[in-house]
Structure 1
Amino acid sequence: MAKKVTKGNWVYEYESVPKYRLQYDYELTDVRYILGEMFNMEIKKTLICIGINPSTAMPENLDPTLTRVRNYAKQSGEYGSWYMLNVYPQRATDPEDMHKDMTYDKDIHAQNIKSITALLGTLSDIDVWCAWGATMNDKKRNFLSELFYGNSERNITGLISLFDASHTIFKAYGVTKKGYPSHPLVMPKDAVLKDINAIPQLQSLYERIKESIKQK
């Protein structure tokens, strides 16, 4: 069961079922669906960063990746809020610790889709920071691509299909050697995000995202 906490400007949604709990004084479980901050209610535009899976970050205790995302959102002057979403919501600081094709948890994907759908229903102007890196191509974890794009034959809803093309722009900083959007930690502090349509190496990603959203 997902539990949602709003405190101050923070939004934090995670899995509260006992089997997913880790033993920490703070409520940290090994599944996190959403982490974000609403810091300027006068600005409606939102920055949503999409990664592969969450690490240890919690409200007021961000990891380096989320610190980078937060700083970019605030310093840009474009956004009034930011959110971190993930293709698969299992916490793992090392991608090798994530579930594999035969062990991944379909239930937490279903809840991830439910939580993200509810969040997107509250937003009307979105920039999506594509930031999942080459892990999307992990041959031991083919399910990641399936959870991102969806699979109608297997009744799997893809995360990307939840977005509305009429008020969403997909952006990235750069490209990995294998042609995937770069992770936030490799982005220089003075760099800016670009539309993925303007990055030649990400044209195929742009077209596939367009097609996935068009099928909504």
Structure 2
Amino acid sequence: MHIPTRQTQDLEILTFQQALVPTNEDYDRTKWLYVPDYYADYRYLLGTRGENPLICIGINPSTAAPGDLDNTLKSVERIAAGNGYDSFLMFNVYAQRATRPEDMDQVCNAALHRENMAAFRYVLEQVGAGYAPAVWAAWGTIIEKRPYLRDCVRDMVAIGEAYGAQWLCAGKCSKKGHPHHPLYLRKDEKVRPFAVVPYLDSL
């Protein structure tokens, strides 16, 4: 479990470009994408490399790392493979590590959000030629934990439009329309189109 000891505004945050600079060799970089490449109070990216990744969007990262996936990431990996993707990338609406979402920053850290959006652009640019970015909305009801999370997603939607991103979901949406969290989905669950803009407008 990761419990933040302070708000991210009190931390020194690496820019995304700074966090891309390698600092250790504890995992196979030809297979894994992990930014920063060490355990920190925030995480921009975690996933595997490929031409056609399934880009899963959660709310915020927990403790997972290359070769040490938590149950959520194991489910993401299974769903990606079951839907014909050659890799998966775990991205989050907000980059602060917090196993319990109620421990997230009370107020959005604008600097952290800006760098997280730079990371999202990078993710979309990793998709191979001939593929449209497949963006799987998978945050469940946790988006209700903080008012700023909806605005963060709106920024992601705007960025995704420039790359032709296709928004998807898997499993049954909640009564309020929230897309299902990756946990407890069948391994053969199929992704399907998700109307993210009407959904955001309804919140």
For the pair 1:99 / 2:105, whether they are aligned, the reply is yes
Matches within 5 A, 1:19-168: 27-38=38-49, 41=50, 44-76=51-83, 78-101=84-107, 104-123=108-127, 124-138=131-145, 141-149=146-154, 158-164=155-161, 167-168=164-165
Using the TM superposition, give the Cα deviation of residue 161 of structure 1 relative to its aligned residue in structure 2, in angstroms: 1.4
The 1-side partners of 2:163 and 2:104 are apart by 34
Q: Deviations over 1:32-75 (max 9, x none)?
A: 0111102xx5xx32210001111111111111111111122123
| CA contact 2:79–2:188 (8 Å) conserved in 1 | no
The secondary structure found in structure 1 opposite 2:167 is strand
Bigger drift between 47-56 and 182-191 goes to 182-191
Higher relative contact order (CA 8 A, sep 6+): 2
Q: TM-score, normalised by structure 1?
A: 0.73
Q: Any gaps of 5 or more consecutive residues in structure 2?
A: 1-13, 23-27
The secondary structure found in structure 2 opposite 1:60 is coil
The 2-side partners of 1:92 and 1:148 are apart by 18
Partner letter of residue 153 of structure 2? F
Q: How many residues align?
A: 175
Partner letter of residue 142 of structure 1? P
The 2-side partners of 1:142 and 1:179 are apart by 17
For the pair 1:204 / 2:198, whether they are aligned, the reply is yes
| CA contact 1:46–1:125 (8 Å) conserved in 2 | no
Using the TM superposition, give the Cα deviation of residue 112 of structure 1 relative to its aligned residue in structure 2, in angstroms: 0.6
Partner letter of residue 72 of structure 1? I
Q: Deviations over 1:83-140 (max 9, x none)?
A: 1111100011111111113xx32111111111221232232422111101112123xx
What residue is the counterpart of 1:184 in the other structure? 182
Percent identical residues: 34
Q: TM-score, normalised by structure 2?
A: 0.77
Q: Comparing both structures, which one devotes a greater share of its residues to strand?
A: 1
Identify the match of residue 172 of structure 1 among 161, 169, 172. 169
The secondary structure found in structure 2 opposite 1:57 is coil
The 1-side partners of 2:119 and 2:174 are apart by 29
Partner letter of residue 105 of structure 1? N
The secondary structure found in structure 2 opposite 1:32 is coil
Change (3 A) 1:159 1:59: same
Using the TM superposition, give the Cα deviation of residue 168 of structure 1 relative to its aligned residue in structure 2, in angstroms: 2.5
Aligned Cα RMSD in Å?
A: 2.2
Q: Any gaps of 5 or more consecutive residues in structure 1?
A: 17-26, 150-157, 209-216
Partner letter of residue 147 of structure 1? C
Using the TM superposition, give the Cα deviation of residue 203 of structure 1 relative to its aligned residue in structure 2, in angstroms: 8.1
The 1-side partners of 2:156 and 2:56 are apart by 13
